Amino acid sequence: MVIKVEKPVHCTLVGDAMIGKSTLVQSFMQKHIPQTPYVATVLETYEGCLDVDGHKHNISILDNAGQHDYETMRSCSYKDSEVLVLCYSVVDRNSFESIKEFWVPEVNSCSRRRKPIILVGTQTDLRTSDVDSSENVTNREGEKLAKDIGADTFVECSAHVSETVNHVFEVMTTAGLKFRKKKHGLMKRMFGK
């Protein structure tokens, strides 16, 4: 008997540097916050598995460099990805503004086919409500940005809260599976295969 192995859902994470993208992925992969000091990288690839609606799915995650001058390298990951995950920190307004000013134009210029976009606000554990900080980005602002950029879904998370971390990756996987099914249905209609 041949066992059919489903190919992993391919997701690409982008956003400014130092906003918690890598910590989010590592928290998902290791099921806890990494204890070693963060070392910036240009590109990290992770493979994992998670349960969505009672079914196990493999997920392949590309964690791209947040420095704006790596566009050429990132453009390859956009083409292969089934889900594009745009991240900002809820305590870094510059990273939030960078989504609309830099990341969305880059994603749109590198990806011809409309792929699911997930907007993720990270580091919610650092957002303070008792301080009048203009750096903090509210949930309502995140929802508005998601609508403005045409994101399929908006979520917030903290790498310290496993439920929110898992929710992010469940949303990513579900979006990728829906995209794959839609793409397969389109190919079937076009070519009868």
- Rounded Cα–Cα distance for residues 184 and 193 (Å): 9
Copy the structure tokens of residue 79: 């083409």
Copy the structure tokens of residue 182: 């839609």
Please, what is the angle between helix 21-30 and helix 162-191, to 10°? 90
Query: Which has the minimum average pLDDT: 97-106, 143-152, 175-184?
Result: 175-184
In this predicted structure, what is the pLDDT of residue 2? 45
The predicted-structure confidence for 49-85, as pLDDT tens digits, reads as follows 888 888 899 999 988 877 776 666 677 677 888 999 9
Letter string b/e over residues 157-166, b meaning 16 or more CB atoms within 10 A of that residue's CB: bbbeeeebbb
The predicted-structure confidence for 132-167, as pLDDT tens digits, reads as follows 567 799 999 999 999 999 999 999 999 999 999 999
Q: Which domains does the chain have, with CATH numbers?
A: 9-191 (3.40.50.300)
